[in-house]
Amino acid sequence: MSAGISVRPVVTADYAGWKPLWDGYNAFYGRTGVTALAPEITQMTWSRFFDAYEPMHALVAEGAGELLGLVHYLFHRSTIQIQPTCYLQDLFTAEAARGRGVGRALIEAVYARARQAGCSRVYWHTQETNATAMRLYDQVAEKSGFVVYRKSL
């Protein structure tokens, strides 16, 4: 892990530092203005991190007393293996902290927690235009070759 950066589970007192990172993540994916997430989605997402019955988890990277990045992940079952699978759903680093190893530290922390949970795989998606992040992803994982399809209902 990069010097001066620590990764830890999010705590309720982190909301004021987590929210700008969450907003930045959503803005990166175009969820602003008319397409912004409804406030109740953000509140529900936040509350799930503290619900022992939810499979959703959050970690934050911190340096010099400031939150520098976030990662959200969840565990789920699979039809092709007995062990649980870990889906890394959201990863974001504050612009001022990019290039300092924050993203890598967050991914490695998810890997560690997935191992502890008995997972045999961690996976995630990104937009094909996210070239900066993919330079890191190519170093810490392998492309699956799958294309994602979805339909809003």
**pLDDT digit string (tens) for 59-86?**
999 999 999 999 999 999 999 999 999 9
Query: Predicted confidence band at 150 (pLDDT cuts at 50, 70, 90)?
Result: confident
The phi and psi torsions of 9 (rounded to 5 degrees) equal -65, 145
Decide the pairing of beta strands 85-93 and 122-123: parallel
Residue 152 lies in a domain: no
pLDDT of residue 8 exceeding 70? yes
Residue 136 lies in a domain: yes
Q: Which domain holds residue 26?
A: 6-140
Q: What CATH number should be reported for the domain holding residue 97?
A: 3.40.630.30
Residue 146 lies in a domain: no
Q: How far is CA 24 from its chain centroid?
A: 13
**Over pLDDT 90: what percentage of the chain?**
85
pLDDT at 1: 54
